[in-house]
Amino acid sequence: MRCPYCRKDNDRVIDSRASQDGLAIRRRRECVACGRRYTTYERPEETTIKVIKRDGSRAPFDREKILRGLERACWKRQISTHQIEATVTNIENDVYQSFETEVESAALGQLVMEHLRELDQVAFVRFASVYRQFSDAQDFVEELRPFLENPRKTPR
């Protein structure tokens, strides 16, 4: 493993443990050359699932794209990084359990929205507005209708 700071290929592992999702190993490393520490994650190589985009093209499933989308949707909300990571892990697990080689972007987007709906309503609407390409306020109203018909009881 090359050090991300000095690019030397000489490090030692200080600590190894299973990550919180149990699907990866988190390794704390120290570069022998510069002495700086960094963290790496080791995940099992899985069958690459292709995402079929709206235009018919295919791209590999990318966990980081889901993470970036959720981070944007959850921006300035009281949602921890841990909650976002856990949601991404749950989405990734659902994708690998439900699909073998390919998943349509519409199904993937729907899966993300289901998880976001449980996490935070505002983040859900933000994500839906971009994903479903809302063009006017009526689109927002239609998406919010289920929430307005069945308001969630929240303690104040």
- Looking from the CA of 95 toward its CB, the CA atoms found within 13 Å total 30
pLDDT of residue 22: 80
Calpha distance 111→134 (Å, rounded): 18
Calpha distance 42→23 (Å, rounded): 9
Q: Give the residue extent of every domain in the chain.
A: 11-42, 50-149
Sorted by sequence, the CB contacts under 8 Å of residue 27 that are 6+ apart come out as: 13, 15, 16, 39, 40, 41, 42
Tokens of 105: 């972007």
Question: pTM for the whole thing?
Answer: 0.61
Residue 55: alpha-carbon gap to chain centroid: 23
pLDDT of residue 154: 42
pLDDT of residue 152: 60
pLDDT of residue 89: 93
List the chain pLDDT tens, one digit each, 156 residues: 899 999 999 999 999 999 877 878 999 999 999 999 999 989 887 678 999 998 999 999 999 999 999 999 999 999 999 999 999 999 999 998 999 899 999 899 989 989 998 899 889 888 888 777 777 777 767 777 776 677 664 433
